Amino acid sequence: MKIAFLADPLAGFKTYKDSTYAMMVEADRRGHAVYAFEQKDMALDGGSVFANAARITLTGDAADWYRAAPQHETELSTFDAIVQRKDPPFDMEYIYGTYLLELAERQGARVFNKPSAIRDHNEKLSIAQFSQYTAPTLVTSNEARIRAFQARHGDIILKPLDGMGGAGVFRINADGLNLGAVIETLSDNGRRTIMAQRYIPEIVKGDKRILLINGKAVPFSLARIPQAGEVRGNLAAGGTGVAQPLTARDREIAEALGPQLAARGLLLVGLDVIGDFLTEVNVTSPTCFQEISQQAGFDVAAMFIDAVEQAR
């Protein structure tokens, strides 16, 4: 197969933990031809969607890990699979990229995750479709509503709808100290919609990342445990990742959501679960492959490439 990865610049990969790198290594190990391009490399020209893509050769050296052939303008429909791994921010450029990929699909390209499904599943807002598994949640730009929510629930979390890696996440305690300043900052004085959630004390045991591949759960989660003085477990915010078997509640959530999300064209999903509650549905570039594989011995990348091969 010819597998193309739409990713951020390869030179910035941290190969010891990068999930896209793990996917590429597994695809290469199986003899698939690996290509890479960035969102800016795509173009619609003459009715067809092209990308300036480069064939990638892996060296096996984690520091100097790839060689790239000269970029070649390639019609996206000629690839057997395109794996969308562009990180947020989910801005208008990201959306334009999904439109181009969707056009490529109509010309025969196979894109994972499905571009329209990525576009339709905001990683924060999508939990509202599964409210039976969520803690109390509010989405609004209205300060009065947020203040009422905080008065009702006391300890809350506030966060933007378009961030990643824990960026812009704030905890407001029951005393409400700094609530006004946080609302002003996150909502841009009421011009931007944000999310409030009741604080879940079990965060001290980790923000669990549960990976779904073609609707089936990887049997281990990665509990991302906040460092001292933090409320964010995200690895990008200094959290420590600990692989652990799925709990009964984890499996209940994964088995309920997995088939539905797969049917919508989401081959790879990262559910975030704190305690017994679903907090996010990650569809852009879910991570934690390597941490789970290294600690639990389960080859997540192999499961993913199996799914890509079977989805042809």
**Domain locations along the chain:** 2-120, 136-199, 202-310
Q: Is 105 a catalytic residue?
A: no
Confidence of residue 12 (pLDDT cuts 50, 70, 90): very high
pLDDT on residue 312: 73
Q: Is 224 a catalytic residue?
A: yes
Do the beta carbons of residue 164 and residue 87 sit within 8 Å? yes
Residue 69 CA to its chain's centroid (Å): 28
Evaluate if residue 163 carries a pLDDT over 80.
Answer: no
Q: Is 272 a catalytic residue?
A: yes
Catalytic residue among 110, 114, 198, 224: 224
CA distance 127 to 31: 38
Confidence of residue 179 (pLDDT cuts 50, 70, 90): very high
Find tokens 């609302």 and name the residue.
Answer: 183
Share of the chain above pLDDT 70, in %: 97
Rounded mean pLDDT, 77-88 = 97
Please report, to the nearest 10 degrees, the dihedral formed by the alpha carbons of residues 187, 130, 258, 291 taken in order: 40
Q: Does domain 2-120 have CATH number 3.20.20.70?
A: no
Confidence of residue 236 (pLDDT cuts 50, 70, 90): low
Determine which of 53-57, 79-83, 91-95, 161-165 has the lowest per-residue pLDDT on average.
161-165
Catalytic residue among 85, 119, 124, 198: 124
Which amino acid belongs to residue 312? R
Evaluate if residue 228 carries a pLDDT over 70.
Answer: no
Q: Does domain 136-199 have CATH number 3.30.1490.20?
A: yes
pLDDT on residue 165: 75
Rounded mean pLDDT, 263-281 = 98
Evaluate if residue 229 carries a pLDDT over 90.
Answer: no
Q: Which tens digit of pLDDT belongs to each residue from 34-82?
A: 999 999 999 999 999 999 999 999 999 988 999 999 999 999 999 999 9
Q: Is 232 a catalytic residue?
A: yes
Q: Is 124 a catalytic residue?
A: yes
Evaluate if residue 155 carries a pLDDT over 90.
Answer: yes
* DSSP E strand stretches across the chain: 2-6, 33-37, 42-45, 48-58, 66-68, 72-75, 81-84, 111-112, 137-140, 156-160, 170-172, 194-198, 207-213, 216-217, 220-225, 240-245, 268-274, 277-282
Q: Is 209 a catalytic residue?
A: yes
* H-type alpha helices, 32-134: 92-106, 115-120
Structure tokens at 310: 């079977």
pLDDT on residue 226: 87
pLDDT on residue 232: 63
Structure tokens at 149: 């929510």
| CATH H superfamily, domain 202-310 | ATP-grasp fold, B domain (3.30.470.20)
CA distance 38 to 12: 12
Please give the model's pTM, rounded to 2 decimal places.
0.94
Q: Is 280 a catalytic residue?
A: yes
How large is the C-alpha radius of gyration of the chain?
A: 20
Confidence of residue 227 (pLDDT cuts 50, 70, 90): confident
Rounded mean pLDDT, 189-213 = 96
Which amino acid belongs to residue 22? A
Do the beta carbons of residue 239 and residue 207 sit within 8 Å? yes
Exposure string over 266-282, b if 16+ CB within 10 A, otherwise e: bbbbbbbbbbebbbbbb
